Amino acid sequence: FSSLKREMRNLSEECSLEPVTVSMAYVYFEKLVLQGKLNKQNRKLCAGACVLLAAKISSDLRKHEVKHLIDKLEERFRFNRRDLIGFEFTVLVALELALYLPENQVLPHYRRLTQQS
């Protein structure tokens, strides 16, 4: 899964998302992994949906920026945007709508990301 995380980070940087947004996406992604929700078929959709949800909740994105992000996700992970948007809801439900994360879950990722760059 580390290669997927690397893709998530690179894509987020290309779209000028903040490290805190990437950190949140990582936490969502790890929660799905721990719940056993990921498989070979859906792992890229999971990663994409996590980035999208994190971006929507932690960044002040305008409509065209969300569209740009979806375009990038579609291109990078090679899936259909309709699948991504449908999967976004699946991920939301799996996370029990808990998109606001406690600082102690986000901070370790945030520290690692800011030290790498």
Q: How confident is the model at residue 117 (pLDDT cuts 50, 70, 90)?
A: low
pLDDT number for residue 40: 85
Q: How confident is the model at residue 38 (pLDDT cuts 50, 70, 90)?
A: confident
Q: Is 18 left (phi over 0), alpha (psi -120 to 50) or beta?
A: beta
The residue type of 102 is P
Please tell me the distance from the alpha carbon of residue 28 to that of residue 74, in angstroms, as a whole number.
19
| CATH 1.10.472.10, applies to 1-108 | yes
Give the residue extent of every domain in the chain: 1-108
pLDDT > 70? residue 16: yes
Task: For residue range 63-85, list pLDDT tens digits in order.
Answer: 788 888 889 888 888 888 888 88
